[in-house]
Each structure stands twice: as C-alpha cells, then as structure tokens.
C-alpha cells in the first residue's frame, strides 16, 4: 500500500424490538448521595464555579461577516448533535436537558420539546442526568433519530405527534457501549458503537425494528462511517496506541446474503470486508466521509491532519490545517509549543468537504480539486477550555457537531449554548 503526503469470524444478532413509549430508561450507575440536592434544584446541575466552564461565558450571541450565532433561550442546554429537515428546519439534541429542539431559520425562533421520561427519571433519582448525544438524522417518515450514550439508547422523536420513543441499544455484558454517530439509509438506521467495537444496523418497519450487529475486525474503537455510491460502508477501527485499519464493508452483498440465509450468524466477516492499514500520522481517526470521485476522507482528532484515501490506487494522502491562532489556545503558561487544530468530524458538500476544527475554534471548508482550505473563525470563545489565564479574548466554544443544508453550515457550541 502506498502513502503520499502533502503539506496542505463474523457474529450478528437478529432480534425484534418494538417501539414503545413505556420502555424504562436505563440509568447509568450513580448514587444520589454523591450529588448536592441544591445543585439539582438549581436546574442545570452545575455549581457556581462550574457554570462558566459548561454553560458559557458570553451572555449574547456574536457574529462575524461569515458566522452568525443564535442564543438558545434555555440556559446551559449544552447542544450537541444537529441535523436538518429538507425544508431547512434545524434540529439539535441537548446534553444537559435530555430534550431535542428545533430552530426555524426564517423566523429565527427556537422550539424546545420537553422529554417527559427524562424529567420523570431526574425527579425520581434526585440528580441531574446528562448524555453526550453524538449522532442525529432526519427520516422521511417525519421523525428525528438520535443516539444517547448515557442510557445506551436510540431515540425517535415524532415531529407530527411531538412524542419520544426509545430503543435499547444492543450491548454485551462484558463490553462497554457508546452509541455514537447515526445515519438514516432508506428504512435502515445505522449506528457505530464507539467503545463496543461494532456497527449496528436497525431495519425499521411499521413501528418495529430488527437489528444486526457487525463486529469490527480488531479489538478497539469503531468510529464514524460513510456509505459510498456502491453501498459500501467505510469506517475506522483503531486502538489508543495509534494502530488501526480503514474498513470497507460490502453492505449491499451482506444484505443480499442475509435475505437468503435469514441467519446473520451464519455469515463470515471476511467474506464482506477489505481493510487497509493506517498511514503514518493517523492515530485517532474520528470523522469519515465519502467525497468527490468516491474518495474516502478521514480527519484525525489528535493532530491537525486530515487524509484522503483512493479506493482504486489504495493510496492515502495526508493534508494539514493551518496552525491555530493564539486566541484559541492562549498559551498563558508558555508551555504550548506545537498547537493543534483537532479536526473532529468531516462531511461532503458538493465539491467541498467540511470539518470542525475543535481546538482551533474554526469550521474548515476544503476543496479537493484546488487543494485549498478556507477556515472560518467562530466568534464566541470560552476561556475555561484553553490556557487562557489573564487573556481577555481567548478559548474555544467546543463545536462538536455540524450539519450542512445547501450553502449553509449549521453547528452547535457545546459550552456556549
């Protein structure tokens, strides 16, 4: 396998799951004695000392010539996963409330939908529940689907009925689970289990689901995924020591064979995958996307690198973002010698690729044809996540997700609300 650098044993479980509003939320183990009741009653669950770090330091939204922010009416919701409807309506999940909300770009108004089951669980347990809800997508039947890592669940919100339903995510007793990114593909809902080492494909039909879990080839993390024009699923499988592989899973052939055999556990993983060793410099590849010419694009969260992979030549090409500006990392201590941008997720839009540069506080737009990268600075900054002591305008807003709607890029700021 070639690498070109540039500066710039299968097991699956099939089961039926009914979508029912009466399913009990599985609460992660935590004792109410470990929490201050006054903090719970306050609403956001943070102490006065913690609040600036997690709830924001800017009372008002900011704007530049290219970026316009909108302040969420409810304080300290910690918005995370985000998606759009075909009509342009924006939806996002809230880590600190358990709710989802919508934003109308025409009226610039928010609507937040209380999750009664979340409220009931908090009331019963007397402590604040939080979840990093990383994945969200819109389905053509008028629903918003999203992941919930705290309760190992997948949620479905009916837009018409304004109701929440959950599906318990399949987990193993001896392996931790973290349902992360989520994509609607036809009648299927595909989710990667980041710590559980698998992809899970749910088939949705008439208020019921069946699912098959596809384990990764290596023990370790199973990160983001993307589907190419031939219905192959591309995803990364890696370990914390930086070793790992890019996997091509023949999704179409697997579905065909599954319909014939009706037993997923009779199929062998090696019959449906190809894998490619990571190139030098790729150690924590979170985001994956299929770009122009069906090349695979991957961003590395422990560096400033992003990569392309040509499936025909089996060649990786390494690119690098610009160096973060000092107002994103501060360096008040003087200890930071080589600041990095940490590109987190990547998506394809027309001729371009879009990525969020977490610690550079930027959204990057890369054109593969011209090999040019345009980076847009996010105006709000929270100094509590960087080396900013004594520096007035410094920090990051923690942009953990974004969605593309035509020529607009919508994103959430997790610590600036």
Please provide the DSSP assignment of 23-61 as one string: PPP-PPS--GGGS-HHHHHHSS---TTTHHHHH-S-SS-
The pLDDT assigned to 31 comes to 37
Paired with 355 in beta bridges are: 346, 364
The pLDDT assigned to 266 comes to 64
Beta strands of 258-400 (E only): which ranges?
273-277, 285-290, 296-300, 305-310, 315-320, 343-349, 352-357, 362-367, 372-377
Percent pLDDT > 90 in the chain is 75
What CA–CA distance (Å, rounded) separates 143 from 162?
Answer: 9
Q: How far is CA 415 from CA 53, 61, 354, in A?
A: 7, 13, 21
The pLDDT tens digits along the chain (417 residues) read: 444 444 343 333 333 333 333 333 333 333 334 444 444 445 799 999 999 999 999 999 999 999 999 999 999 999 999 999 999 999 999 999 999 999 999 999 999 999 999 999 888 888 899 999 999 999 999 999 999 999 899 999 999 999 999 999 998 777 889 999 999 999 999 999 999 999 999 988 766 778 888 888 898 999 999 999 999 999 999 998 889 999 999 988 888 887 777 665 667 878 899 999 999 999 999 999 999 999 999 999 999 999 999 999 999 999 999 999 999 999 999 999 999 999 999 999 999 999 999 999 999 999 999 999 999 999 999 999 999 999 999 999 999 999 999 999 999 999 999
Name the token pair of 404: 């593309």
The pLDDT assigned to 265 comes to 62
What CA–CA distance (Å, rounded) separates 195 from 181?
Answer: 12
What CA–CA distance (Å, rounded) separates 273 from 58?
Answer: 48
What CA–CA distance (Å, rounded) separates 362 from 399?
Answer: 8
| DSSP, res 110 | E
Query: Selecting from 1.20.120.80, 3.40.190.10, 2.130.10.10, 1.20.1260.10, what CATH number does the domain 2-412 have?
Result: 2.130.10.10
Name the token pair of 97: 């409330």
What CA–CA distance (Å, rounded) separates 84 from 73?
Answer: 19
**Strands ordered across the beta sheet of 100-104:** 79-84, 90-94, 100-104, 109-113
Q: Are 167 and 184 in contact (CB under 8 A)?
A: no
What CA–CA distance (Å, rounded) separates 54 from 95?
Answer: 11
Q: Are 278 and 252 in contact (CB under 8 A)?
A: no
The pLDDT assigned to 267 comes to 74
Q: How many CB atoms lie within 10 A of CB 350?
A: 11
The pLDDT assigned to 18 comes to 36
Class of residue 170 by CB neighbours under 10 A (exposed 0-12, middle 13-18, buried 19+): buried
Q: Which helix (H) or strand (E) holds 122?
A: helix 116-125
What CA–CA distance (Å, rounded) separates 201 from 185?
Answer: 10
What CA–CA distance (Å, rounded) separates 222 from 195?
Answer: 7
| DSSP, res 40 | H
The pLDDT assigned to 204 comes to 83
SS3 (DSSP) at 204: strand
β-bridge pairing 109-113 and 100-104: antiparallel
Give counts: helices (H), strands (E), the chain.
5, 28
């Amino acid at each position: 396998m070639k690498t070109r650098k540039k500066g710039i044993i299968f097991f699956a479980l099939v089961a039926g799951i009914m979508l029912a509003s009466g399913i009990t939320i599985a609460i992660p183990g935590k004792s109410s004695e470990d929490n201050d009741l006054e903090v719970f009653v306050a609403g956001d669950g943070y102490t006065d000392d913690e609040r600036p770090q997690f709830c924001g330091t800017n009372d008002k939204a900011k704007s530049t010539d290219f970026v316009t922010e909108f302040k969420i009416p409810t304080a300290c919701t910690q918005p995370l996963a985000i998606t759009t409807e075909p009509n342009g309506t924006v939806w996002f999940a809230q880590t600190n409330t358990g709710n989802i909300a919508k934003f109308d770009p025409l009226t610039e108004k928010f609507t937040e939908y209380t999750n009664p089951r979340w409220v009931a669980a908090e009331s019963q347990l007397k402590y604040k529940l939080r979840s990093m809800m990383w994945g969200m997508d819109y389905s053509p039947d008028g629903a918003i689907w999203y992941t919930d890592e705290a309760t190992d669940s997948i949620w479905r919100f009916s837009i018409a009925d304004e109701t929440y339903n959950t599906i318990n995510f399949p987990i193993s007793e001896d392996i931790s689970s973290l349902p992360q990114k989520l994509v609607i593909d036809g009648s299927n809902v595909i989710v990667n289990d980041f710590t559980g080492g698998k992809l899970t494909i749910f088939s949705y039909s008439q208020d019921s689901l069946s699912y098959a879990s596809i384990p990764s080839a290596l023990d370790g993390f199973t990160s983001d995924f993307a589907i190419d024009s031939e219905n192959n699923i591309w995803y990364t499988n890696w370990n914390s020591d930086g070793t790992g592989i890019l996997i091509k899973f023949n999704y179409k052939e697997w579905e065909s064979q599954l319909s014939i055999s009706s037993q997923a556990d009779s199929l062998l993983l090696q019959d449906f995958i190809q894998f490619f060793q990571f190139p030098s410099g790729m150690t924590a590849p979170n985001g994956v996307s299929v770009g122009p010419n069906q090349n695979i694009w991957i961003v590395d969260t422990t560096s400033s690198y992003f990569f392309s992979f040509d499936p025909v030549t089996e060649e990786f090409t390494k690119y690098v973002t610009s160096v973060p500006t000092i107002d994103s990392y501060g360096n008040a201590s003087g200890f930071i010698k080589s600041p990095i941008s940490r590109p987190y997720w990547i998506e394809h839009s027309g001729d371009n690729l879009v990525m969020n540069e977490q610690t550079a506080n930027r959204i990057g737009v890369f054109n593969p044809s011209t090999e040019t990268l345009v980076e847009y600075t996010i105006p709000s900054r929270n100094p509590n996540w960087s080396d900013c002591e004594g520096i007035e305008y410094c920090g990051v807003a923690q942009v953990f997700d974004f969605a593309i709607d035509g020529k607009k890029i919508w994103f959430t700021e997790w610590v600036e609300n």
